[in-house]
Structure 1
């Protein structure tokens, strides 16, 4: 199967290996705040779920990656600063 991207509303890699490569190119800087990290992990969740349908030979691995990324989001958003919507990162319009 080709590792080119397919258009599904946005460019989505077609294989697990292409998805992992795509993920590696988008990693935020260590100095970026948690809003960027949450956005990064949420994008990965959506991407791996989409790739699970496009790469049936790696469906379960893709779903495992999606779950891992979902837990990373949960780890960030369970922090106390995400609970205060008036002053925390949630006040910047990020959907929790």
Structure 2
């Protein structure tokens, strides 16, 4: 799937998420942006790929939860450095 194209299916969305996966040691801000972008992407796919609507919504929620965890880790790091 071309990176510039919008995903039309849940499979497309999974492929895009895999292609843009940050390095494990990437900065937390990079991980947060990755998780937030994935959540938005899966929400859009839920509206387009109606056969996988609920599964795409699950993945959107999963990515939002992971983004929340990363955000909390960022906040925790800031609090420790103060």
- Tell me, yes or no, whether TM beats 0.5: yes
Cα distance in structure 2, aligned partners of 1:82 and 1:31: 18
In structure 2, which of residues 3, 23, 29 is the aligned counterpart of residue 35 of structure 1? 29
Ranges of 4+ aligned residues in structure 1 off by more than 3 Å: none
**Aligned alpha-carbon RMSD (Å):** 2.4
Structure 1 match to 2:60: 66
Q: Which has the higher contact order (CA 8 A, sep 6+)?
A: 2
Gaps of 5+ in 1: 89-96
Aligned residues: 80
Pick the structure with more helix per residue.
2
Gaps of 5+ in 2: none
Deviation by residue 1:37-82 (Cα, 9 ceiling, x = unmatched): 0000000000000000010010000000000000000101112125
TM-score w.r.t. length of structure 1: 0.73
